[in-house]
Chain A
Amino acid sequence: MTRILPAALLALSLTLPALTPALAVQPEEVLPDPALESRARAISQELRCLVCQNQSIDDSNAPLARDLRVLVRDRLQAGDSDAKVMEYVTDRYGDYVLLRPPFKATTLVLWIGPFAVLLLGAIGTFLFLRGRRGVTAGTDTAPLSADERRRLDALLRKDD
Chain B
Amino acid sequence: MIPELGHYALVLALFVALVQSVPPLVGAATRNGAWMNVAVPAAIAQMLLVLVAYAALTWAHVVSDFSVLNVVQNSHSAKPMLYKVSGVWGNHEGSMMLWIVMLTVFGAAVAMFGRNLPPTLKARVLAVQGLIGVGFLLFILITSNPFIRVVPAPIDGNDLNPLLQDPGLAFHPPFLYAGYVGFSMAFSFAVAALIEGRVDPAWARWVRPWTLAAWSTLTMGIAMGSWWAYYELGWGGWWYWDPVENASFMPWLAGTALLHSAIVVEKRDALKSWTILLSIVTFSLSLMGTFLVRSGILTSVHAFAVDPKRGVFILVLLAIATGGSLLLYSLRAPSLKAGGLFAPISREGALVMNNLLLSTATATVFIGTLYPLFLDILNLGKVSVGAPFFNATFIPVAIPMIVAMVVGPFLSWKRADLWAALSRLWIAGVAVVVAVAITAYVKAGGGPLLALVGIALAAWAFVGSLVEFADRIALFRTSFRNSWHRAVHLPRSAWGMTIAHACVGLSILGMTGTSAWQTESITAMKPGDQTTVAGYEFRFDSIGLVDGPNFKAERGVFTVTKDGRSIATLTPERRSYSTTRMTTTESAIHTTVFSDLYVALGDPTQNGTAWIVRIYHHPLVPWIWIGGAGMMLGGLVSLTDRRFRIGAPERRRTAGKSAPLPAE
Contact = CB atoms under 8 A, between A and B. Distances in A.
B358 to A, nearest CB: 10
A12 B392 CA distance: 29
Contact of B164 (A12, A121, A158): A12
A106 B227 CA distance: 35
A117 to B, nearest CB: 4
Contacts of A128: 352
23 contacts: A8-B242, A9-B90, A12-B90, A23-B585, A54-B240, A99-B386, A101-B389, A106-B381, A106-B383, A110-B383, A114-B367, A117-B359, A117-B360, A117-B363, A118-B397, A128-B352, A129-B344, A129-B349, A141-B340, A141-B342, A142-B340, A148-B200, A151-B200
B384 A7 contact: no
A100 B522 contact: no
A114 B397 contact: yes
A63 interface: no
Contact of A22 (B172, B235, B387): B235
Contacts of A117: 359-360, 363-364, 367
B367 A113 contact: yes
Interface residues of B, number: 96
A99 B384 contact: yes
Interface string A1-19: 0011111111111111011
Interface of A: 3-16, 18-27, 30, 45-46, 48, 53-54, 56, 59, 95-101, 106-107, 109-111, 113-114, 117-118, 121-122, 125, 128-135, 140-142, 148, 151-152, 155-160
Interface in B180-208: 200-202
Q: For the complex, would chain A's binding face be called helix, strand, loop or mixed by DSSP majority?
A: helix
A16 B74 CA distance: 11
Contact of A3 (B95, B233, B296): B233
Given A12-B164, A132-B270, A156 B649 contact: yes
Contacts of A6: 222, 225-226, 228-229, 238-240, 242, 244-245
B583 interface: yes
A132 to B, nearest CB: 5
Interface in B461-478: none
A93 B229 CA distance: 30
B404 to A, nearest CB: 13
Centre residue among A3, A109, A125, A159 by max chain B CB count within 10 A: A159
Interface of B: 90-92, 95, 116, 118, 161, 163-164, 169, 172-173, 176, 200-202, 221-222, 225-226, 228-229, 232-235, 237-240, 242-245, 247-248, 268, 270, 289, 293-294, 296, 298-299, 338, 340-344, 346, 348-349, 352-353, 356, 359-360, 363-364, 367-368, 371, 375, 380-389, 392-393, 397, 414-415, 522-524, 582-585, 600, 602-603, 612, 614, 646-650
Nearest to A59: B237
The 7 closest A-B pairs by CB, nearest first: A99-B386, A134-B341, A100-B388, A13-B92, A10-B293, A6-B225, A5-B242
A156 B582 CA distance: 60
B158 to A, nearest CB: 10
A12 B116 contact: no
Contact of B341 (A14, A54, A132, A158): A132
B233 A22 contact: yes
Given A22-B234, A96-B383, 10 more contacts: A7-B221, A9-B169, A15-B299, A21-B583, A59-B235, A113-B363, A121-B360, A132-B270, A133-B344, A152-B202
Contacts of A156: 202, 649-650
Contacts of B389: 99-101, 110
Contacts of A46: 388
A9 B367 contact: no
B299 A142 contact: no
A160 B163 contact: no
Contact of B356 (A20, A99, A122): A122
Contacts of A16: 161
Contact of A10 (B237, B247, B393, B614): B247
Nearest to A19: B163
A30 B582 CA distance: 26
A135 B415 contact: yes
A159 to B, nearest CB: 5
A160 B647 contact: yes
Contact of A140 (B226, B245, B371, B414): B414
B382 A12 contact: no
B147 to A, nearest CB: 16
Contact of A109 (B118, B234, B340, B367): B367
A152 B348 CA distance: 21
Nearest to A113: B367
